[in-house]
Amino acid sequence: MSTMNDVAQRAGVSLKTVSRVVNGEPNVSEQTRRKVDAAIAELDFRPNSVARNLRTGRIDLIGLALPYLSQPYFSSLAEEIMREAERHGLTVLIELTEGDAEAELALVREHGPHLGGLLMYPVGLSDAQALTVARTVPTVFISERAYDAHVDRVAMANREGVRALVGHMVSLGYTRIAALGADHTGRPERAAAHLRLDGYRDGLRDAGLPYLPELVLEVGTPHWNRQEGSAGMRRLIEGGIPFDAVVAFADALALGALHAVQEAGLRVPAEVAVAGFDDTDDARYAHPSLTSVAPGRAQIAREALALLNDRMNGTVDQEPGRLVVADFQLTVRESTLGGMAAWGGA
Amino acid sequence: MSTMNDVAQRAGVSLKTVSRVVNGEPNVSEQTRRKVDAAIAELDFRPNSVARNLRTGRIDLIGLALPYLSQPYFSSLAEEIMREAERHGLTVLIELTEGDAEAELALVREHGPHLGGLLMYPVGLSDAQALTVARTVPTVFISERAYDAHVDRVAMANREGVRALVGHMVSLGYTRIAALGADHTGRPERAAAHLRLDGYRDGLRDAGLPYLPELVLEVGTPHWNRQEGSAGMRRLIEGGIPFDAVVAFADALALGALHAVQEAGLRVPAEVAVAGFDDTDDARYAHPSLTSVAPGRAQIAREALALLNDRMNGTVDQEPGRLVVADFQLTVRESTLGGMAAWGGA
DNA sequence: TTGTAGGCGTTATCAA
DNA sequence: TTGATAACGCCTACAA
């Protein structure tokens, strides 16, 4: 690799002049600029970002800490974030935490000081630990859980999204709407479940429908997967409790429910309507295709990077602790609306 | 952040002595070492890797270039690679190419010179471009396509895997076995399709079965998704060509096929057996659960990092161009074996 | 066993 | 508009 020095010699100018041209600074004559540009091209010079970072103390590398990459929500979130980071001229270093507080902390201890910023989807972190993280490196959380510690955060419209889902069901004439995925442990890391249940209650209230505890299904583990969804739905069916719709708090739960409902010989949506949350690809390709709430992944990525950028550049005097809630979108498909769309369609 | 200088002052020793302690070099008295360690702890000193890298020219950062992250195969591969990289003390910087040769090259131009190594799943790269990449930075390809340019490579057992799949079908008594996902364009970037078709022929030959072109289904696009699988299968069914098994070249195709077969009122596996390739989570959770070939992701990650590590450290005198083919595993589930396993089981 | 001098490639300072 | 010189934090070579 050629260095700035090589370019300077070749162009017959000083080091600093090359630096000026490279960084687009003013006060360089057009003629000099051309000479330098030519030399840069000839030598295929590329600035050494390591050296640049050392000198400026600014780092164009941000960390992205996620529990997993193999779950559709996280991998598509990661994709969006990487695209957005590129727009900001930032490079993304991905770390997996597996949802373990110790791993989340270790990562920050290890890499934090050498990162320009950090986007984290915290799982196990306590309030105190969250503060430690945010003190080590400019941080933005992507999380449904609110932290006491003041950290900038981007969240989904959990409550409003489910509320709209229930409203949609009601508008189609369904009245005995089950909720799938509730949590009654009250543990803070299950905030998404709590907020979505709140939204479910809101939706019922909007419609003047009663809240029936027997229609609210908890699932065995905090993992919202198809098996849990399927098992939960089977319990409801076997319990003989009448219902005509299911609002699941995640697409995976909804897909499991879909399976159990169909296995029980019930037609979807003629006899039972089903909807999910997340709008994953699986929802689009399911049979029937699944109505779902799209949480605005692109916006989440955009907002998260905007907040982080502010912090990194110090271009904001507001205290950390800002909250942005992304807009959601209700994506209606066959599982609530019937056979209008073709299988696999949007 | 405190620097080595701060530590040196605090401990009352020279900069170099601190450096020795930090890097675990010999020739430091136990007493001095303790003094320095104490100062390091008090100041919470962490070596600045930027400065270190600038000086040593060695970088513990590797790039991982993938076309997408939102497809299950790539996200789970990325997970495995990150786990393995951590074991090697390497940090992973992920880049998305979207399968575009220009993006693949740009990424290498931009970041290549400042990376310790690169793992790439090339898609659009020509032979000449592959050489450019490998010259810029120590590179290992994860790819089914063989490049003329000598670059180390890790691949799946495409041919052997499908051959085993066909053998499995034959052992269960199926004789009219369709292949789904063939490519007759011969384009090099579709090497996986070619090799898997070879494996299909091998399997038939092993069993003394004839190769019947009417049972070999091409899909419309190079994208192996459910819709393509479903459409392909429908063509076969509507064509009235008798068949009793389907070997799909990807799980997504198999899942689409499963759907089309069931929609046509055929029972799986009683009337038609179905199998895929990749062993994604979707295969495990499908209904019926899908028999598939597990391509050995963990081993692919392990071998790729082993090869890359060799190159980065120069601990190998072999020319680049080594090839490692990962072991595969046939995962038999309900879609070929019947209702022995519970839905959602392994 | 310990320390000094110099330099990695870039940007910042200040003078010309 | 340009350039000489110092500095970022660390490691290597060599000297003490």
Nucleotide nearest to B8 (CA to C1'): C3
pLDDT of res. A272? 93
In CATH, the number for domain B158-294+330-344 is 3.40.50.2300
Closest partner residue to A94 (CB to CB) among B94, B227, B281 is B94
What is the C-alpha separation between B142 and B155, in angstroms, rounded? Answer: 6
Contact A95, A65 (CB under 8 A): yes
CA of B54 to C1' of D9 (A): 9
Q: Does at least one atom of strand C sit less than 7 Å from the CB of A15?
A: yes
Question: What's the pTM value of the predicted model, to 2 decimals?
Answer: 0.84
Contact B45, B2 (CB under 8 A): yes
What is the C-alpha separation between B274 and B264, in angstroms, rounded? Answer: 14
In CATH, the number for domain B4-47 is 1.10.260.40
Closest partner residue to B79 (CB to CB) among A70, A282, A285 is A70
pLDDT of res. A112? 84
User: Residues 106-135 of B near strand D (Cβ < 7 Å)?
Assistant: none
CA of A52 to C1' of D11 (A): 18
Is A69 in contact with B49 (Cβ distance < 8 A)? no
CA of B15 to C1' of C5 (A): 12
Is B69 in contact with A82 (Cβ distance < 8 A)? yes
Nucleotide nearest to A16 (CA to C1'): D3
CA of A39 to C1' of C10 (A): 18
Tens digit of pLDDT per residue, chain A (346 long)? 789 988 998 899 988 899 999 888 888 899 899 989 899 999 888 888 888 888 887 788 899 999 989 888 899 999 999 999 988 888 898 899 988 899 999 888 888 877 889 999 999 899 999 999 998 889 999 999 999 888 999 999 999 999 999 999 999 999 999 999 999 998 888 999 999 999 999 999 999 999 999 999 998 777 788 888 999 999 999 999 999 999 999 999 999 999 899 888 888 888 999 999 999 888 887 878 899 999 999 999 999 999 999 888 877 777 788 999 999 999 999 999 875 443 333 3
Structure tokens at A92: 């993304």
Tell me the CATH number of domain A56-156+296-315, given options 3.40.50.2300, 3.40.47.10, 1.10.260.40, 3.20.20.80: 3.40.50.2300
What is the C-alpha separation between A177 and B300, in angstroms, rounded? Answer: 46
- The string of pLDDT tens digits covering residues B4-59 is 888 998 889 988 899 999 888 888 888 889 989 899 898 888 888 788 888 887 77
Nucleotide nearest to B46 (CA to C1'): D9
**Which residues in chain A touch residue B285, judged by CB atoms under 8 angstroms apart?**
225-227
In CATH terms, are A56-156+296-315 and A158-294+330-344 the same topology? Answer: yes
Q: Is B72 on the interface with A (CB under 8 A)?
A: yes
Per-domain residue ranges of chain B: 4-47, 56-156+296-315, 158-294+330-344
The H or E element containing residue B180 is strand B177-182
CA of B24 to C1' of D5 (A): 35
B interface test, pick of A52, A223, A285 with most B CB neighbours within 10 Å: A285
Q: Does at least one atom of strand D sit less than 7 Å from the CB of B323?
A: no
Is A46 in contact with B227 (Cβ distance < 8 A)? no
Is A48 in contact with B95 (Cβ distance < 8 A)? no
Q: Is B82 on the interface with A (CB under 8 A)?
A: yes
Closest partner residue to A94 (CB to CB) among B82, B111, B344 is B82
What is the C-alpha separation between A44 and A38, in angstroms, rounded? Answer: 10
Is B69 in contact with A46 (Cβ distance < 8 A)? no
